[in-house]
């Protein structure tokens, strides 16, 4: 009877060790399974070659990737936040890159139909077209115009293929 208890104890320890062991299947070339087998147990060979690694597409670099401007010199952004006390807009490009823009007394604010607005009329999430001066790390907004980006604009300024109609 004691021998059976000893075997049961050893089996319990082995089972506990296999379920508590970290998943090292990725390092060993096996795929973790969760349906009836422990995570680290190998999968039988299928005779298939491993899937080839595909290189990511080349990234756009420099100003071309970051500052797409319209013929009027406007760039599209999403307002991330407005700090009235510091006279700053934190803006986000569609590529998720942020830009801090200063505003001053000369900055013009317009709605999508060209009517004048105030800086207090802008909220996080608004989509805007901005004309700025000064460049560099702290550009100053000359004009901030509320407006959406159409699908045609999206393709023209950010996507490498024409609009599918």
**Which burial class, exposed, middle or buried, applies to 91 when counting CB atoms under 10 A from its CB (0-12, 13-18, 19+)?**
buried
pLDDT one-digit tens code per residue, 19-69? 444 554 444 455 555 555 455 555 555 556 566 666 555 544 444 445 678
Question: How many other CB atoms are found less than 10 A from the CB of residue 67?
Answer: 14
C-alpha closest to that of 25 among 9, 1, 48, 41: 41
- The answer to whether residue 158 scores a pLDDT higher than 70 is yes
Whole-angstrom distance, CA of residue 113 vs CA of residue 100: 25
Sorted by where each begins, the domain ranges of the chain are 1-41, 71-157
Fold for 71-157, please state it. Answer: OB fold (Dihydrolipoamide Acetyltransferase, E2P) (2.40.50)
Is the overall model pTM greater than 0.75, yes or no? no
Which H/E stretch holds residue 153? helix 151-157
């Amino acid at each position: 009877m004691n021998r059976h208890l000893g075997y049961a104890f050893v089996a319990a320890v082995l089972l506990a060790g296999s379920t508590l062991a970290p998943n090292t299947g990725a390092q060993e070339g096996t795929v973790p399974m969760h349906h009836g087998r422990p995570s680290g147990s190998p999968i039988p060979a299928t005779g298939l070659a491993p899937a080839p690694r595909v290189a990511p597409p080349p990234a756009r670099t420099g100003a071309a990737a970051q500052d797409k401007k319209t013929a009027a010199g406007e760039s599209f952004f999403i307002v991330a936040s407005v700090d009235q006390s510091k006279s700053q807009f934190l803006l986000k490009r569609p590529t998720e890159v942020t830009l801090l823009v200063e505003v001053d007394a000369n900055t013009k604010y317009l709605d999508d139909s060209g009517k004048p607005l105030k800086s207090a009329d802008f909220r996080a999430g608004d989509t805007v077209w901005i004309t700025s001066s000064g460049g560099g790390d702290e550009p100053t907004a000359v004009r901030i115009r509320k407006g959406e980006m159409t699908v045609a604009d999206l393709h023209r300024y950010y996507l490498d293929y024409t609009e599918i109609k």
